[in-house]
Amino acid sequence: MNKIYKFFAVILVISSGIIFSSCKDNNENEILIGEFASLTGSEATFGQSSHNGLMLAVEEVNGSGGVLGKQIKLITDDTQSKTQEVPTVVQKLINRDKVVAVIGEVASSRSKAGAPIAQQFKIPMITPASTNPEVTMIGDYIFRVCFIDPFQATVMSKFAVNSMKVKKVALLVDQKNAYSTGLADNFKKVFPELGGEIIEEQKYSAGDKDFKAQLTSIKAKNPEAIFIPGYYTDVNLISIQAREIGLTCPLFGSDGWESEKLTEGKAKDALEGSFFSTHVSADDPSPGIQNFIKKYQEKYSSKPDAMAFLGYDAGMILFDAIKKAGDTNGEKIKNELAKVKDYQGITGLITINDQRNAVKPAVVMQIKDGNFVYKETIAP
């Protein structure tokens, strides 16, 4: 019996060694990248688009031999569009999955929840689309590939005065959303400097269904336009109710509007002629953009939005930084990300400044017959 036990013990040890060796070999042939994204919940289209764009970057790089001779393996966790889910998700990616870098989130409030953890463990983090300035202020391991709210507010202030020719504007702001309040605060600084006047400000909370009280107060002040720095989920309903109570002035907003769901239902007519700022236009004829659109449509059977472009850029900039670092060490990757200058991304020429923010132009889109049509480009 002892001989039999010894025989099986030897077999078990050998088998365990093979399994361990196999796992080790797989890890040695892969670079693990984490992603936390809103794949479900209220802002799911943002997270899905960003994830889809990132996946195209992963497939492109892996198809060309990978990075440092290894394949990129993306580990994605869903935040469910809930800020409170973020710490658990990011902790899991870093401590259990052992990722060397993290990409996420689209929403500023959720990036702000994840960034302190990445900073604590010295894991480089890139947000594709969080525009609130406070995100990258959390630490030197936190980066973004999008412009920030002060610039976006400047863009829409200039556009309101110079192109829309309006001077008296009302604000409708999501009071619990860092993205919305940050944009509003910056708009309130810049717009008056250009000769404009904020004649009314009303607040709401994401998920509200009835905005008529706020809109009635705004209507009483007779604004020439209403600036709504919010997400498409709320703007859809706001626009419908604004028209229902007789508000006919133009509405304008920011990149949080960009989703095909923005103009669903009655909002298609309610938002006709409205404007919003964003990161890139699919109407741009440049080969890089048109090639990306073709690949995206072939894979996902839908047209990419700005979040998809930004997800792709975030991935490609990270992979390039790892390549230049020659290593997956967090500090080395961080140092290379900080050096990014004149990188030709899909969303334009990208330079990371000393605050770890991307310096790049913005575009303004107009809504026509439910479609987003390029209006103009405004440089930094």
Domain limit, last residue, from 241, 262, 278: 278
Crossing angle of helices 149-162 and 178-193, in 10° steps, is 50
Shared domain for 40 and 109, answered yes or no, is yes
Q: 297 and 260 share a domain?
A: no
Is 365 within the bounds of a domain?
no
Residue 375 forms part of a structural domain? no
Both 50 and 77 in one domain: the answer is yes
Let me know whether 289 and 141 are in one domain. Answer: yes
Percent of the chain with pLDDT over 90: 87
CATH code assigned at 37: 3.40.50.2300
Query: Is 265 a member of any domain?
Result: yes
In a domain, 127, yes or no: yes
38 and 125 housed in the same domain? yes
Q: Residue 5: is its pLDDT beyond 90?
A: no
Instruction: Name the domain boundary from 278, 298, 322.
Output: 278
Please tell me the distance from the alpha carbon of residue 123 to that of residue 113, in angstroms, as a whole number: 15
Same domain, 128 and 158: no
Q: Residue 9 falls within a domain, yes or no? A: no
What order of strands is seen across the sheet that includes strand 251-253?
Answer: 197-204, 168-174, 225-228, 251-253, 275-278, 362-368, 371-378
Please determine, for residue 205, whether its predicted confidence score (pLDDT) is greater than 60: yes
Structural domain contains residue 2? no
Domain co-membership, 126 together with 169? no
Same domain, 256 and 294: no
Beta bridge partners of 371: 368
Tell me which residue range forms the domain holding 296. Answer: 26-147+285-360
Are 157 and 140 part of one and the same domain? no
pTM of the model: 0.84
Point out the domain boundary residue: 278, 301, 324: 278
Same domain, 195 and 256: yes
pLDDT at residue 286 in the model: 87
Residue 380 binned pLDDT confidence (cut-offs 50, 70, 90): confident
Distance between CA atoms of residues 342 and 73, nearest Å: 27
Indicate whether 229 pLDDT > 50. yes
pLDDT value of residue 12: 36
How many domains are there within the chain? 2
Q: How many Cα atoms within 13 Å fall on the side-chain side of residue 375?
A: 25
If asked whether residues 204 and 274 sit together in one domain, one would say yes
Backbone angles phi, psi at 34, to 5 degrees: -95, 150
For residues 12 and 144, the model is more confident at 144
19 occurs within a structural domain: no
Task: Calculate the average pLDDT of the chain.
Answer: 92
Domain shared by 31 and 132, yes or no: yes
Q: Is residue 184 part of a domain?
A: yes
